[in-house]
Amino acid sequence: MIEINEIHPNPAGIKRVAVLTSGGDAPGMNAAIRAVVRAAASQGIEVVGVRRGFSGLHRGEMHLLGPRDVANTIQRGGTILLTARSRTWRTPEGRAEGARYLREWGVGGLIVIGGDGSFHGGYHLQEEHGIPVIGVPGTIDNDLYGTDHTIGYFTAVETALDAVDKLRDTGASHERIFVIEVMGRHAGHIALDVAVAGGAEEVFIPEDEKPIESVVEIVKQSVEKGKKGSIIIVAEGYDGGAQAVGDAIQAGTGLETRVSILGHIQRGGSPVSSDRILASRLGEAAVYALMDGQKGVMVGRTSGGITYTPLPETWQNSKDVSHDLYRCARVLSI
């Protein structure tokens, strides 16, 4: 029989925590909010939900959230707390306002679900006002050091892959080249996974700014090998994006080329199981981290276990794309 201890020690004496989502939305954010609310309730801790991220925090947009308030949300995309990117939070005055509201509400710690920009915002609050902050990695880009995957990434890859499969039908039928841009402001994680899973001829990522002209030779070789159409995946962060790659192909080969920028559809939709499970584990772990007296760390999952990474390290260190996967993408496009 598996022994389960449901009561977590609370040396920090936490009675109430706040939670917010910030930056770009990501599928699974609701599952993370739900996990925070329910894990806290299981320990007799109250949760204050902050609406509109830091933007709402400095305006005091807060309300209590109970376990029933998060019912029927685990499968929903977006974030029930709403999200925003806040300019005011970048000022010490804005953060002081937010800290005042958190104190008024008797909050012993803040859980920030978001990406590196959001973690910066949380870290400043902690440094200036002594309020413990725990980060939960929520971004489709998967670009945070300290966790194998971020919440939303798995769903974004599935969404992009579905689009690639559909575009491939048209590409093959018309014997066209399709250049498809996936999201990833500074990172090629989505692009690389989609390239391998979608059987692409080539992938362009910001981590390896190879010359754009190289695509011309690759497409010419594909045609010589008898391929009916080609799929080229480009990460948004690659210099010039998909349009530049498409233009280079058209100019260098004269072949009929179409560019498709998938954009924000990758951020929406019901989270796949891997994102729901990751969000559930990390939301729970964030509550326990505050109870343990931890602060200024991001909870992550690395090699199956829960890990705690100091917030500055999550943005100071870069998370490498898998070189092996990059190699594999090349080898299999023969």
Catalytic sites, residue numbers: 141
Q: Which residues of 106-119 are buried (b: 16+ CB within 10 A; e: fewer)?
A: ebbbbbbbbbbbbb
- Consult the annotation and say whether 38 binds a ligand: yes
Candidates 102-110, 137-145, 158-166, 285-293 — which segment interacts with ligand F6P by CB under 6 A? 137-145
- Consult the annotation and say whether 185 binds a ligand: yes
CB of 185 to ligand F6P, least distance (A): 3
- Consult the annotation and say whether 276 binds a ligand: no
User: Using the rule CB under 6 A, is 140 a contact of ligand F6P?
Assistant: yes
Give dist(CA 208, CA 320) in Å, integer. Answer: 11
CB of 33 to ligand F6P, least distance (A): 18
* Residue list 171-200, contact with ligand F6P (CB under 6 A): 183-185
Whether the CB-CB separation of 251 and 179 falls below 8 Å is answered with no
CB of 12 to ligand F6P, least distance (A): 31
Cα four-point dihedral sign 159, 160, 161, 164: positive
Candidates 89-97, 134-142, 215-223, 287-295 — which segment interacts with ligand F6P by CB under 6 A? 134-142
Half-sphere exposure of 71 (CA within 13 A, CB side): 4
User: Using the rule CB under 6 A, is 77 a contact of ligand F6P?
Assistant: no
Q: What are phi and psi of 83, to 5 degrees?
A: -140, 165
* Residue list 98-117, contact with ligand F6P (CB under 6 A): 115
CB of 99 to ligand F6P, least distance (A): 26
Give dist(CA 334, CA 324) in Å, integer. Answer: 16
Binding ligand F6P by CB under 6 A: which of 28, 95, 119, 141? 141
Question: Residue 63 in 3-state DSSP?
Answer: strand
- Consult the annotation and say whether 184 binds a ligand: yes
CB of 74 to ligand F6P, least distance (A): 22
User: Using the rule CB under 6 A, is 236 a contact of ligand F6P?
Assistant: yes
Whether the CB-CB separation of 299 and 306 falls below 8 Å is answered with yes
Whether the CB-CB separation of 109 and 131 falls below 8 Å is answered with yes
Half-sphere exposure of 74 (CA within 13 A, CB side): 18
Binding mask 253-292 for ligand F6P (x = CB under 6 A): --------------x-------------------------
Report the residue number, 97 or 162, with the smaller CB distance to ligand F6P.
Answer: 162
Give dist(CA 162, CA 171) in Å, integer. Answer: 14
User: Residue with structure tokens 């010039």?
Assistant: 240
* Residue list 13-32, contact with ligand F6P (CB under 6 A): 24
Which residues are within 8 A (CB) of 183 and not within 5 positions of it... i.e. 6 or more apart? Answer: 140, 141, 156, 160, 190, 235, 236, 262, 263, 264, 266, 267
Query: What residues form the annotated binding site?
Result: 24, 34-38, 85-86, 115-118, 139-141, 168, 176, 183-185, 199-201, 225, 227-229, 236, 258, 264-267
Contact footprint for ligand F6P (CB under 6 A): 24, 115, 139-141, 183-185, 236, 267
